[in-house]
Every structure is written in structure tokens, then in C-alpha cells.
Amino acid sequence: MALYPLAPSYFGVEHVAILEHLSLGTALSIPGLAQQPALVDVSLLPDPTTGGWRVRSDFGFLGALDGEESAEYPALNRLRTAAMTPATRATVEIVDGEVEVAVALGLDPWMIPANNQPAGTALLSGGYGTLVHVAEGELTAHQVREMGTEQLFVTLALLDDTVLATHDNLVLGPCAELSDSPALAAAFAAATQSGASLAARAYAAGGRIAVDLPLDPADPVELFAPAVPPLPLAPDKPAIPPALDPDADWEFTTPADPLASPLPTGSRAFTSPKGTF
């Protein structure tokens, strides 16, 4: 099964699941754990007995999420169906004399992107968030609103010193100035040398979009994250909803009950106007 890297954090903030079902022997075998917390790479394997996931590291299985705990992350079922293995990282530490394993799973609505990483792109690592100025892009208010809460991959393009977030041929808006971000400048330079374009994870919520960009790392290799393999996509759920067509024919229906008056019932008296007869 191919590894599917999850975002280890959003804008530098981790959202973790604390394992209740631990393998203490494996955790305590991690070198140096008694002195300091250990950050380890982990993958999640389906557990058919519980409907949950087993958490595996290079040292062995650290523990598991049972079916009830996994129900908080229904997006993981999409990876299970696609025969993909979720990959992320976990922090193992001793807290008040007890072993704690915190797996960076993230938030379910932002866990799996609504699109695939564009071909021919190098994916940037995250670290800090910057808003996309959608008012200066090509999205309509309807499109931004209908995106809801989701993660998506965007491609970054340069216009003079301005970094633009794009999706396919659509400019979402400017998100940074290259002169203000040495990390982005280094990433664009590396991408130019390799002939690749830059992609980044972006997150939409509440009518806003923010791009997760790298901090200035000590090692240039840390500018980039592992590539994300493609998943089957639902054609009726695009990452960017289509814009409304102002020339389209519109049809509006509403329940008739609140509008229609009930027919009169019972006997009625007829009164002629005075002086008619």
C-alpha cells in the first residue's frame, strides 16, 4: 500500500490524537526517551478486528486507535477505500511518569485535500499561514462561500515580486511578497533549477483561504514535503465550485402552502346592498 502523507500541522500548529491503547514495550525502546520527547515517523494500518487503525513506527507498533476513536476521523476511510496508508508523525514522551503517544492526525475537514497535487510540482512544507487576498483574484463571492471548509493544493506563481496562489488556470489571489520571505525565494530558486513548479497546501473556511508556507529552515531540504499520491476524485465535488452563469435560465420554486388561501367552507349568508331591490 502506498504511503499517503498527511499534513503534520496547520500553519505550525499540531492537532493530535492521544493514544489510549499503547504498546509500552515499543515506546520504551525508543532511544533517549528518558531524557527528552521523541518525534517519530508513523504510518496507520487498518485494524480489521476493531475497524480502527494500528500505529506503526520504525521501532514497532506504538498503539492503536479503536473503531470508536477512529470515528472522529471519517476522512481516513477515504484512504482505506483507496488502499492508501496514512503517514504522519507522532510525539512520544514521558509525562508525570506515564508514556504518552500523540499522533498528528489533524482536523477531519482539513485532513484530505479536495484535489490532487498538480503533476510536475514540488510540494512546500508548512509552517506559517498567509491569507489569500481573494478580492484581488478571479474567484466570485459565491465560489469562495461554496468551498466551505476544505484543504486543497494550490500552485504558486510569480508576478514580479508578488506570489500568486492559483488553481488550474484560475488565479485565487496574491498571498505573499517574495522579498518578505527568504524561504519562498529559496524554494523558487530550487524549483527553477529543477524545472518544477511549486505547490502548497491551502485551507478554506468561513469564506477565507490561507496558504501554508515554509519558515526559513536551517536546512534547505526542509523547504519541501513528500509528494502526495493522487486519489480518486468525485467529479461532482470540485475543489473550486463553478461560478454562477448570469445568462443561465433560472427556476425558483417555493412551497405553495404558505401562499395559498384555504377554500371557504360551511354555510354563508347572502346580504344584498341596501336599496338594490
What is the per-residue pLDDT across 106-154, written as a single tens digit (0 to 9) for each?
Answer: 999 999 999 999 999 999 999 999 999 999 999 999 999 999 999 999 9
At residue 8, the pLDDT reads 95
Residues 180-210 pLDDT 10s: 999 999 999 999 999 999 999 999 999 999 9
Answer yes or no: is pLDDT of 59 > 80: yes
At residue 218, the pLDDT reads 66
Answer yes or no: is pLDDT of 220 > 90: no
Q: How confident is the model at residue 89 (pLDDT cuts 50, 70, 90)?
A: very high
At residue 255, the pLDDT reads 73
At residue 216, the pLDDT reads 83
**Whole-angstrom distance, CA of residue 114 vs CA of residue 86:** 16
One-letter identity of residue 178: L
At residue 219, the pLDDT reads 76
Q: Where in 187-276 does DSSP place strands (E)?
A: 197-205, 208-213
Residues of the chain with pLDDT > 70, as a percent, come to 88
Please report, to the nearest 10 degrees, the dihedral formed by the alpha carbons of residues 172, 178, 182, 186 taken in order: 80
* Mean predicted confidence (pLDDT) in 14-29: 96
**Whole-angstrom distance, CA of residue 215 vs CA of residue 42:** 23
Write down the mean pLDDT value for the chain.
92
At residue 274, the pLDDT reads 64
At residue 235, the pLDDT reads 86
Cβ neighbours for 202, distance < 8 A, ≥ 6 positions apart: 132, 151, 152, 153, 154, 165, 172, 209, 210, 211, 212
Residues 221-274 pLDDT 10s: 789 999 999 999 988 899 999 998 665 555 667 676 666 666 667 676 666 666
Answer yes or no: is pLDDT of 101 > 60: yes
Burial of 212 (0-12, 13-18, 19+ CB in 10 A): buried
* Mean predicted confidence (pLDDT) in 18-46: 96
Answer yes or no: is pLDDT of 178 > 70: yes
At residue 198, the pLDDT reads 98
At residue 268, the pLDDT reads 66
Q: Where in 51-120 does DSSP place strands (E)?
A: 52-57, 60-65, 84-95, 98-104
Residue in 153, 223, 226, 229 with CA at minimum distance from that of residue 188: 223
Within 10 A of 89 (CB to CB), how many other CB atoms are there?
A: 18
Burial of 58 (0-12, 13-18, 19+ CB in 10 A): exposed
Residues of the chain with pLDDT > 90, as a percent, come to 83
- Grid cell 462561500 in the structure block, residue: 145
